[in-house]
Structure 1
């Protein structure tokens, strides 16, 4: 059973990450022609496009993609609880668990993107499409920190502050919900 649990967990988490990235990229207006953007769009289009007939976009938020995010989280939770344990959680618990899962996954993706961007900034020179995308995605989170803590002697501490804040929020959510996030 552990092997099946692992596979379900990995497959749904990977797809949830891609759907979250699509939603985030659309909200941040990331360059559509970036190779990473093209990958994310092509992977998620088979499920997002049919949902768009039911749920249109509102401003910069793609409601179909947002709904898909929660549908994937709910499907994962149902497969892991009903399929493996034989239990079906109440609807209120299912919704709360799906929100916690999406927030946790978003914070995890944000953590890794910030870390990858920081590491890539040491090695890349000139324009790199992945670096451009990472900067577009993380800039809304780093800019407010940079206004409070400007670079000191050429050292940008905003990444460190953001990583600490992400981990703090993840731990706080885990404590509030009584789960290990």
Structure 2
């Protein structure tokens, strides 16, 4: 296997950066729809406008039903798979279809869980700083409430302090370590 030239490394960085931005926007779209975020919010409108052309081909096959935007998720998996194929081509390695699929699934799951983690952290910090309604920060509340609700049922507030974000963060990290880590480990064992 040859090493990648500096020009190749620069190209790889650009491809990785662009792919990461697109997948970030698609995962944000998926999460916004899943959490019933207000579609009149400027950030939500922007994400919808940017991702609509990318999701349009799959929307014809898999139309959006209620809260689950499967076309955004499937488009992210396809783009991540293409990125893995490009990595293989640039590094002169051949990856099997199962490796590409498992790697893509683990990356998408990791990014979605990371996004949920950071949304919860940001929302928790904002709840300490910004008291009351703020139109600029309400999006974080809208996106995290459905995620935190099951944890609030398990762990009610203690002396007025909501500890559900801690429980949610622990659960997210455990899923990343155990579930996503197992999928990634399975994929890595294929190229041993």
Q: TM-score, normalised by structure 2?
A: 0.83
Q: What's 2:54 paired with?
A: 47
Distance 1:129 1:76 in 2: 37
Q: Is the contact made by 1:8 and 1:80 (CA closer than 8 Å) also made in structure 2?
A: no
Distance 2:54 2:21 in 1: 15
> After TM superposition, which residue ranges in structure 1, 4 or more long, deviate above 4 angstroms?
none
Q: What is the Cα-based RMSD across aligned positions, in Å?
A: 2.1
Distance 2:154 2:147 in 1: 12
- Give aligned pairs, total: 179
| CA displacement, residues 42-62 of structure 1 (integer Å, 9 cap, x when unaligned) | 211221224323332234323
Larger Cα-atom Rg: 2
Q: Is the contact made by 1:35 and 1:129 (CA closer than 8 Å) also made in structure 2?
A: no
What is the aligned counterpart of 1:143 among 146, 149, 155?
149
2:84 paired with 1:77: yes
Q: What's 1:93 paired with?
A: 99
Gaps of 5+ in 1: none
Gaps of 5+ in 2: 1-7
| CA displacement, residues 84-130 of structure 1 (integer Å, 9 cap, x when unaligned) | 21223111111111111110010110111111111111111332234
